[in-house]
Structure 1
Amino acid sequence: MTVDDTLAAASARTSAPIAEARPIVRTHHGDEVEDRYEWLRAKEDAAVISHLEAENAYTEERTAHLAGLRERIFEEIKGRTLETDLSVPTRRGQWWYYGRTVEGKQYGIQCRAPLASPDDWTPPELSPDTEVPGEQILLDGNIEAEGHEFFSLGSFEVSNDGTLMLYGVDVAGDERYTVRVRNLVTGEQLPDEIPETFAGATFSPDGRFIVYTTVDDAWRPDTVWLHELGTSVDDDAKLFHEPDERYWVGAGFTRSDRYLVIGLGSSITSEEWLVDASDLRSEPRVVWPRVEGVEYESAHAVVDGEDVLFVLHNDGALDFELVRVPASDPAGGRSVVIPHRAGERLLGVSTFRDWGVLGYRRGGLARLGMLDYATGEVSEIEFDEPLYSVGSGGNPEWAPPLLRVGYGSFVTPGTVYDLDVATRELHLRKRQPVLGGYEPEDYAQSRVWATAQDGTQIPISLVYKRSFGEVGDAPRPLHLYGYGSYEHSIEPGFSVARLSELDRGVVFAVAHVRGGGEMGRQWYEDGKLLNKRNTFTDFVDSARHLVEGGYTTPSQMVAEGGSAGGLLMGAVANLAPELFAGVLADVPFVDALTTILDPSLPLTVIEWDEWGDPLHNADVYAYMKSYSPYENVRTDAAYPKILAVTSLNDTRVLYVEPAKWVARLREVGADALLKCEMVAGHGGVSGRYNAWRERAFELAWLLDVLGVADA
């Protein structure tokens, strides 16, 4: 039977949309590839939109029997969430800043209230049903979103003196933001409006200027601009432009407000430039000239009266080391503060007037420690749970007596602490409320280790509800998640939506595969470029370990991953389709070779450092072709059920990749569904209720595949 015969039979049997075959031939390095579905890339073509709409209709029809379950899961998420709530206030200047959510409203509300006194460092305990004295509503996302199907903030900041606010809005999902400015004293909307910006616009310390970035045609932030309030955008000054297509550019001010830092980064190389914040039109000066393969980041401090930079770098230090250099001459006088320690990955340094904070990884977990400027010693902030995630955040002040810390685990909801720096005492400010009688002790988390094909030990995190028995006692439905790229680590974190699985007896597991950063920089290096296959085989070996260890069976296991993790899903579906009952692929990067061959597409040139350059290197081309999911759909395999979720306006992983992949899977008779959000971006729909419904849709499908839909 030919491909066309198979498609015709599938269409007659299931009414699945069958994409028209319009073959084109692509030739690279003497290799000819026929692509039947590349025409689906033409986003403005009415036939493409019609096909996507048909896919959505088909998916809705095929999942119609899950409508009740979707609604139950949505209500479970909603019922466990304190819909009207407030965040822990953060002090900045003379104000406490915080956010509100209101029952029935999709978007957050940004607020502030005045300090009780200049010495007030203890955040007020706010209650949703109690009026906050002096409260000002700065930005109500629900009002700003009126008339739009999509709404996202890419920039939000108040000037140091508290009189002006800037905010950047995207109403399409394509991550192009229009920056606007509001006078918080008069409520007046200023005429300053900056279209087509990237996220992260910021005020200068004196509030006279806005620093922002714009992108090139490939959606790469490449230029930093200076806008003086009250002047035309046409007169904005170009502070910095990076012509090398491998580098992203960003800009922000040091916590001390002493410098504007312009940062450039590729996947393997970085460079920073300093501009005196008191003279923003002055010439930027480089911290360290870029060296291929060397990454670094700097943080300004004043130690013993001297302006210094703490620089975290990997020059001859695989897992990074921390040095101190004079800010006036960063190239000279390196003083080692934290030497390189193999296997202990230094992640970042934050500096304050009197002390610093160091983030690092050890034993597969992120850690946080206080840095003593005088001695260079780091004192770790310790926690009791075996698995957890921790980080500092919400610390805009230069000389606070407290450090804001975020903490959580698979079983402990997101928690906010303030650390008293002098006494090292942690003050609990808030733990995410979970309604409906949630008790952390009813759930358990643990870590097991799988053995990879080359003998490497792969950590697997597990979380489950105790009332269904201990994991491994008997096979149970299992949801296996993975990512494995860009040195991104999947941290132990709490999820309200996940409870809808756990309470039905499902075990949630994370395979911390190579390509991520869980076990240090070498873990990442061993899962990128010409080592990329390790990412996929690690996931397969993790799944096999869970089956062989009695945790689950192939008919009871669903795999999930998104974006680069969606590439992982496509690859493992080809490698070991027999191991999974289903595969959930969110915004999946499944046509990787086609994308990375085209330097005109968003992100492609930047991505060559991560995946290799198949356009100019025949070996890389052959290697990527050997694993790219779209290129390797098998005719001899019985695929698990597949659900691919994407968004029409995604600029990071274009909708065409999963659209082509699903069309190709249909050629071999796979049961594949495509759901495309027609007004959304890489992060999916906007609005919390919309996001809950989207996750409820995915979880209902997943539970149905696992056979626990009615549990």
Structure 2
Amino acid sequence: DKIYKHVLGTPAEEDELVYHEEDETFSTYVYKSKSQDYIIIGSNSTLTSEYRFLNADDPQGTFKVFSPRTRGLEYSIYHFGSDFYILTNKDGATNFKLMKTSRKTTASEHWEEYLPHREDVLLEDIEIFKDFLVVSERDNGLNKIKVTRWDGSDSYYLPFDNETYVAFPYVNLDYDTQLLRYIYMSMTTPYSIIDFDMSSREKTVLKQEEVLGGKFKEENYRSQRVWATARDGARVAISLVYHKDTPLDGRSPLLQYAYGSYGSTIDPSFSSVRLSLLDRGFIYAIAHVRGGEYLGRPWYEDGKLLNKKNTFTDFIDCSKFLIEKKFTSSEHLYAWGGSAGGLLMGVVVNMAPELYHGVIAAVPFVDVVTTMLDDSIPLTTGEYDEWGNPNDPVYYEYMLSYSPYDNVRAQAYPNMYVSTGLHDSQVQYWEPAKWVAKLREYKTDDNLLFLDTNMDAGHGGASGRFEALKETAKEYAFLLDLEGISQ
């Protein structure tokens, strides 16, 4: 919450406090503009942004507020020449638009539209170069990268030919360059770093993630995107990957994953660890449910606060679709989610336990009402914009209607593996512990119910590559054992 100025060669005790963010719902950070002309301090909460800037040649000067914070106004700033460019949701631009203003008049009332808002395309980010403007978009769920010359002589999109993939600019520190460095991968293509010449349109793959073991061949795997229809008519995308020899006749095991909160989009990325399941006949599915931004900002807005239940019903409707289309069956369908995705798991096992043979809930946020009523927890007040404030009876009743712990009842539940960390500061260990205790008391089945508490870990799980792999191995062992796969 504090930004200090340190003079090289002097004791740290003499550092000067430059900025103190006193609103506990905001976090603050500092960086330098790509042009190297300005030092910028940013402050952000869930729904609101504010920036301060200072000429980098005058480090002893005073930071100036770019545009005062206004609740619900989000913006990011980029410097180019004599102007600032602003990526913002101003004036109801739900999917964001690009505006510009002189560096002498930076308040929002002076901003002028540069790239208009589009109802069906999310404007995610921009990269500024001396001769080019690069825009990152999300159109119909897919990443697109558009390159435009400032002089207007050329404009085009980078070509991507996969049905479902991930592409976004990488670290581009150079301002005066023809090269755009970006990341590309798909569910069958490993993480690749690529240099793209924006003038000649030639690309060079600098590095591709190595898949250890020597057996991986991209042509052995298939990926596709299908669309399920939710109960309210919304179309929900599902990204799938599987081995080319896996039958799609309803007999194959399928692991369905989703997150669905905070506008966080779970992209169809590559995973070398996942190959362990694919090579054993599993299909892996990512359900792009509401609560993320896969289909733009409205997709997020339709899965939060008093629309939160759409996240849960989308996941269930995707499961029914996958069964109906014979990708799998309820005897071989598994669900997985962590943190807010663990909340999703907790809700779906209460609402539709018969659909799943097994469920993995990692560090699950399952005691929603109790946690959100405790404003002594550092994260709680900042979460009101996502879940609502339960001190308001309307939000209290809505949260209570889906909170996993509060809705456990006497019924048969799937086989379940629940994990937590003793030092988790985001979802304290007692949430999943009390949830599992209540499940043990109420459930009417003899299915497996494990609670795995890592006594050394926090919210992110075990630290260290091999310890993290051990945790994944336990989750996979749970799935393989239920499928009767011994090796």
The TM tier, using the shorter chain, reads over 0.9
Q: Give how far 1:399 is off.
A: 2.0
Moved more, 325-334 or 604-613: 325-334
Distance 1:633 1:281 in 2: 59
Change (3 A) 1:269 1:356: same
**Is 1:363 matched up with 2:140?**
yes
Aligned to 2:431: 657
Q: Which amino acid aligns with 1:439?
A: K
Aligned pair partner of 2:364 in 578, 585, 588: 588
Alignment-derived partner of residue 630 in structure 1: 405
Which residue, 24, 32, 38 being the options, matches 1:245?
Answer: 24
Matches within 5 A, 1:183-198: none
Q: Which residue of 1 aligns with 2:161?
A: 384
Bigger mean CA offset, 403-412 vs 345-354: 345-354
Aligned partners of 2:175 and 2:193: how far apart in 1? 20
Structure 2 counterparts to residues 230-241 of structure 1, below 5 A: 230-241=9-20
Distance 2:50 2:132 in 1: 25
CA deviations 1:368-400 (Å, max 9, x no partner) are 222332339752111111111011112222223
Paired residues of 2:423 and 2:456 also in contact (CA < 8 A): yes
Shift of 1:436: 2.5
The two structures have a TM-score, normalised by structure 1, of 0.66
Report if the CA contact (8 A) 1:443-1:465 is conserved.
yes
Spell out the pairing of 1:262-341 with structure 2 (5 A cutoff): 262-302=41-81, 306=82, 308-316=83-91, 317-331=93-107, 333-341=110-118
Alpha-carbon distance in structure 2 between the residues aligned to 1:654 and 1:350: 39
Deviation at 1:708? 4.2
The aligned length equals: 481
Unaligned runs of 5+ in 2: none
Q: Give the fraction of aligned pairs with identical amino acids, expressed as a percent.
A: 44
TM-aligned CA distance change 1:327 to 1:591, over 3 Å: same
Is 1:457 the counterpart of 2:241? The answer is no
Deviation at 1:527, TM superposition (A): 0.2
- Which residue number in structure 2 is paired with residue 498 of structure 1? 274
Amino acid at match of 1:487: G
Aligned pairs for 1:138-149 (under 5 A) are none
Structure 1 counterpart of 2:416, which letter?
I
Asked if the contact 1:570–1:590 (Cα under 8 Å) also holds between the matched residues in 2, the reply is: yes
Cα deviation 1:596-616 (Å, max 9, x = unaligned): 11111021111101111112x
Contact 1:700 1:709 in 2 (8 A): no
Instruction: Write out per-residue CA displacement over residues 482-515 of structure 1, whole angstroms, 9 at most, x where no aligned residue.
Output: 1101111111111111111111111100111000
Q: Contact 1:445–1:464 at 8 Å: present in 2 too? A: yes
Local SS of the residue matching 1:554:
coil
Please name the residue that 2:473 is paired with: 696
**Distance in structure 2 (CA, Å) of the matches to 1:595 and 1:378:** 50
Deviations 1:577-619 (A, max 9, x none): 111111111121111221111111021111101111112x111
Q: Which secondary structure does the structure 2 equivalent of 1:559 belong to? A: strand
Aligned counterparts of 2:148 and 2:71: Cα–Cα separation in 1: 29
Cα deviation for residue 678 of structure 1 reads: 1.9
The one-character-per-residue Cα deviations of 1:224-283 (angstroms, maximum 9, x if unpaired) are 222233333332222212222222222211122221221112211111111222333432
Q: Find out whether 1:681 has 2:455 as its counterpart.
A: no
Contact kept? 1:239, 1:281, Cα under 8 Å? no
Alignment match, 1:208: none
Separation of aligned partners in 2, 1:575 and 1:675: 24
For residue 375 of structure 1, the aligned residue among 152, 157, 160 is 152
TM-score by length of 2: 0.95
Give the conservation status (yes or no) of the 8 Å contact 1:273–1:284. Answer: yes
Whether 2:223 is the aligned partner of 1:445: answer yes
- Matched residues in 1 for 2:149 and 2:226: separation? 36
One-letter amino acid of the counterpart of residue 48, structure 2 = T
Q: Which residue of 1 aligns with 2:304?
A: 528
What's 1:538 paired with? Answer: 314
Give 1:453 shift. 1.2
Q: Distance in 2 between matches of 1:280 and 1:675?
A: 51
Change (3 A) 1:374 1:681: farther
**SS of equivalent to 2:85:** strand
Name which of 206, 214, 217 aligns with 1:429.
206
Contact 1:337 1:376 in 2 (8 A): no
Name the CA distance, whole Å, in 2 between partners of 1:323 and 1:630. 45
Contact 2:250 2:323 in 1 (8 A): no
Secondary structure class of the residue paired with 2:114: strand
CA-to-partner distance for each residue in 1:631-654, whole Å, 9 max, x for gaps?
11112x111111112222222222
Map Cα deviations across residues 163-183 of structure 1 (whole Å, 9 max, x no partner): xxxxxxxxxxxxxxxxxxxxx
